Structure 1
C-alpha cells in the first residue's frame, strides 16, 4: 500500500487551522491516479483565476464580482452536472472535473470556491442534506447558490428541498430544526469527509474494494475518532484478503464501541476471518 501518498495526505489534514481544502481534495485522487501531480492541477486553477482577475477591479462590489464569476464558470467555461453518469467516480476527482467540466455539487463547489477566492470572494461550502451548496455573505445579505447551475436559492426553495429529508429522518413537528441550522458554513474537514463519503458510497456499490480501501484509509486519517470508519476499513481489508489488519480494525471498533446495532455481526465476522486465517 502506497504509504508515501497517505503520509502526504495526513500532513495536509493534520491541523484544522491550516487546512488546505483544495489541495487535500485534489490529493484524494492519487489513490486512483497514482501519477497525478497535485501542483499541475493547481496550475490549471491558477490559469483560470488569472483569466478571471483581468475582468474585475478592486472597487467592484461583491455582487458584481459574483455575477462575473458565475458567467465565467457556468456560461463561458461550461461547468455543470454530469447528467449522463452521475455515479462516475471521476465526478469527484478535481483534475477530471477540470478536464471534462462535469461534476457533482461538491466537486463543482470546490472549483467554484477556489476560483472565487482568487478574486477576493470568500465563498463557503454548506453541507446541506442530499445536495451540497455554497454561500456568500454580501452587504445585501446571504446568498445561497446551487453549485450545479449557479442559481440563487430562496429560503422557500431551500425549505422545499429540506422537507423530504426532514420527513425521512422523522424530524418534523416539535423536533424540527430550523432551516438556518442546515445552512451554516462547513469546516474544511466536514467538506472533505463528505467528499470522501460520496466516493465511499460509489465504490461500495460497485464493489471496487481496492479503490474503496484507498478512500477508507483517507477517511481514517481525516477522522481519527470515527470508529465506524476504522470498522469500514476493516471490511474493505477483509474483502481484499488482508486478514490480519482486517481483524485488527474490527477489534478496534468493538473495543471502542459500547452500543451499536452491528456489534454481534462484527464479532461473527472476526470469528470467520480467524477461521480463514487458520486454514491459510
Structure 2
C-alpha cells in the first residue's frame, strides 16, 4: 500500500504557484525535483518517485512488525545506508550534484540535507513522523520518542546523536554552549519551505563561489518564488545580475533590499554596488 492518492499532479506543479501554498501543502520531494529540473531540464520525476516508494515498500512488512519507533528507524537506516549504500559525500562535499535530488538518488551520494530528504520521505511513507532540523552547520533529522527526541545525522549513516554532542556541534555557531531551552528551539522541526530554501541557498553559495552567476541568479530567483521579497535572496539575485550586466534587474533588487533591510551589516557595500549599477560615481569631497 503506497501513498499514490496523496501525490501531486506532477505536470501541474510549477514555480508560479508555490508561494501561494501553505507550508503543509508544499510537497517536499516534488519541489526538490523541480529544483533539480532547472539544472537537468529533461528530468522525469516519476522514476524518482517510484524509486523512493520502492524503498518504502521494501521495508513495509519489516517495519510494521517492529513495535518501538527507534527500532523502526534503525531498520530504515540500515536499509538505506548499509544495504542500499546511501552515504555522505565526504570527498566532494561541495559538488553541486549533492544538492540535486535526482543525482542523490542516482548516485546514492549527497549532503546532509539531501540525504535527510530521502530518509524523511521513506520514513513518512511508513507512518513514521520524521522531521528535518535546520541545525547550525549540518542538517539533521528528529523523531519524537517517549516524551523526548531521537536526533540523527543522515550525513553519517543516520547515527543517533547524544545531547552533549548536539551542544558541542551548536557551540561554535552560537558562541556559547546552548542550554536546554535554546537546544530545544534549535531542534524545532523545519517546515518544507525552509528546507527547500536551504537547498537553494546552499546551491547559490556554491555557484557564487565559482562565479557561475547565471546559476547563482537562478537559485536566488527560485528562493523568491518560494518566499517573495526575502531580503537576502533579493540582494543575492541583484548582485548576480550586476555580474551578468543586467543592470535594470540589479538596480531594482538592490534598491528593494535596502528598503527591506536598512539595518543590515552590508548596507554600505550594497549602496556602493547600487551606485555602480546606476552607472554613476559617488561625488568626490
- Settle same-fold status: TM greater than 0.5: yes
CA RMSD of aligned residues (A): 2.3
TM-score, L = length of structure 2 = 0.86
CA displacement 1:199-256 (0-9 Å, x = unmatched):
1111111111111111011111222242221121111112112221121111222333
Over 3 Å counting, the alpha-carbon distance change for 1:67 and 1:260 in structure 2 is closer
Other-structure match for 1:178: 182
Other-structure match for 1:15: 21
Task: Name the SS for the 1:56 alignment partner.
Answer: helix
TM-score, L = length of structure 1 = 0.87
Other-structure match for 2:7: none
Do the aligned residues in 2 keep the contact of 1:12 with 1:20 (CA within 8 Å)?
Answer: no
Over 3 Å counting, the alpha-carbon distance change for 1:64 and 1:268 in structure 2 is closer
Question: Matched residue pairs, number?
Answer: 267
Do the aligned residues in 2 keep the contact of 1:126 with 1:186 (CA within 8 Å)?
Answer: yes
Which piece of structure 1 moves more, 41-50 or 65-74? 41-50
CA displacement 1:26-48 (0-9 Å, x = unmatched):
21112211111223321221122
Do the aligned residues in 1 keep the contact of 2:168 with 2:177 (CA within 8 Å)?
Answer: no
Other-structure match for 1:162: 170
Dislocated runs of 4+, deviation >6 Å: none
Other-structure match for 2:275: 271
Which piece of structure 1 moves more, 47-56 or 238-247? 47-56
Asked if 1:27 corresponds to 2:37, the answer is no
CA displacement 1:139-169 (0-9 Å, x = unmatched):
37321101112111111111111122222xx
Do the aligned residues in 2 keep the contact of 1:82 with 1:91 (CA within 8 Å)?
Answer: yes
Task: Name the SS for the 1:120 alignment partner.
Answer: coil
Q: Which runs of 5+ in 2 are unaligned?
A: 1-10, 281-285
Q: Which runs of 5+ in 1 are unaligned?
A: none
